[in-house]
Amino acid sequence: MNKSIVYFTKEITPESLIKIYEKLGVELKGKIGVKVSTGEDGAKGYLKADLIGPFVKMLNGTILECNTAYPGARNNKEDHMKVAEKHGFTSFAEVDIMDGDGEFKIPVKNGKHLKYDIVGDNFKNYDSIVNLAHGKGHAMGGFGANLKNQSIGIASRNGKAYIHSCGQDENPDTAWGRPYEQIEFIESMAEAATAVADYLKENNKQIVYITIMNALSVDCDCDAHQGNPVMGDLGIVASLDPVANDQAFIDMIWNSNDPGKEELIERIDSRLGREILPYAESLGLGSTKYELVNID
């Protein structure tokens, strides 16, 4: 099997973000959506306007998000838009809370847990997607990068409940009470992410993957009480393969000389976070084998 190419820069600047995107050699067509996490009200690690704004403007892109399944400041469109504005996203682009006006189901093929994925209705409106993730830890998934941004991130509020309950319940009010094994949740995320990739491919839509590895906290940007970074910034990775891109992020943490990495590793492995990679590979989403190309 051919190794996927993952581009890397240690520079984290607006210019390096544009440069690494251009290295992918893909000209995104039509209406472009840029999927980010807008960050929970109170979080601090989300991708900042001054860093990603020039790139999104260059693409004439729309910022894409979906509402959260948990109670908070982003579980309905009106409140979510206020947080997006507070965090600077509306200062450089239109923001589309994709499930604000409905949702639709896309099939999951060969899934052990999910029969379908439920995504925000407005996802249909985009011809090209940039999966622009912030790499960090995560309280439930171990870590968050491109795979999480494509599964939980693109799922509607009900879709998030369905993934979190491993296919048992679409109701955010009751889904959290469903019993499940941690590995089932990790695999459910991989199934949802694969469903999104399949949907885009079948509808002749494009997607590219970029992860900015800064502000490396053990907590996700969805945490209102997000902790401070535990290790130094690593850089940016970009690929056409989300599995390879996430694998590169994980490998950089493990290979780092930064002693703070132990906290992040403990968070990731205590949640079985790395298990998403071989399972996503088994579903055909991408490859854990990659060639790292340093563009600096």
What's the per-residue H, E or C state across the chain?
Answer: CCCEEEEEECCCCHHHHHHHHHHCCCCCCCCEEEECCCCCCCCCCCCCHHHHHHHHHHHCCEEEECCCCCCCCCCCHHHHHHHHHHCCHHHCCCEEECCCCCEEEEECCCCCCCCEEEEEHHHHHCCEEEEEEECEEECCCEEECHHHHHHCCCECHHHHHHHHCCCCCCCCCCHHHCCCCHHHHHHHHHHHHHHHHHHHHHCCCEEEEEEEECCECCCCCCCCCCCCCCECCCEEEEECCHHHHHHHHHHHHHHCCCCCHHHHHHHHHHCCHHHHHHHHHHCCCCCCCEEEEECC
Rounded Cα distance between 225 and 219, Å, is 8
Rounded Cα distance between 9 and 49, Å, is 20
* pLDDT tier for residue 1 given thresholds of 50, 70 and 90: low
Buried b (16+ CB within 10 A) or exposed e, 95-127: bbbbbbeebbbbebeebebbebbbbbbbbeebe
pLDDT per position as a tens digit, 31-52 = 999 999 999 999 999 999 999 9
pLDDT of 72 > 70? The answer is: yes
- The CATH code that applies to domain 4-294 is 3.40.50
pLDDT of 267 > 90? The answer is: yes
Buried b (16+ CB within 10 A) or exposed e, 228-263: ebbbebbbbbbbbbbbbbbbbbbebbeebeeeebeb
Instruction: Yes or no: say if 83 and 73 are a contact pair by the CB < 8 Å rule.
Output: yes
Count of Cβ atoms closer than 10 Å to residue 185 Cβ:
19
Mean local confidence (pLDDT), 189-198: 98
Terminal alpha carbon distance of the chain: 27
Rounded Cα distance between 143 and 271, Å, is 9
Q: In the prediction, which pLDDT does 33 show? A: 99
pLDDT per position as a tens digit, 130-146 = 999 999 999 999 999 99
Mean local confidence (pLDDT), 178-207: 98
Q: In the prediction, which pLDDT does 2 show? A: 79
Helix-helix angle 261-270:242-255, to 10 degrees: 130
pLDDT per position as a tens digit, 81-135 = 999 999 999 999 999 999 999 999 999 999 999 999 999 999 999 999 999 999 9
For the chain, the average pLDDT equals 97
Among 120, 102, 136, residue whose Cα is nearest residue 33? 120
Mean local confidence (pLDDT), 174-200: 98
Cα dihedral sign for 156, 6, 11, 128? negative
pTM confidence score: 0.98
pLDDT of 214 > 70? The answer is: yes
* pLDDT tier for residue 224 given thresholds of 50, 70 and 90: confident
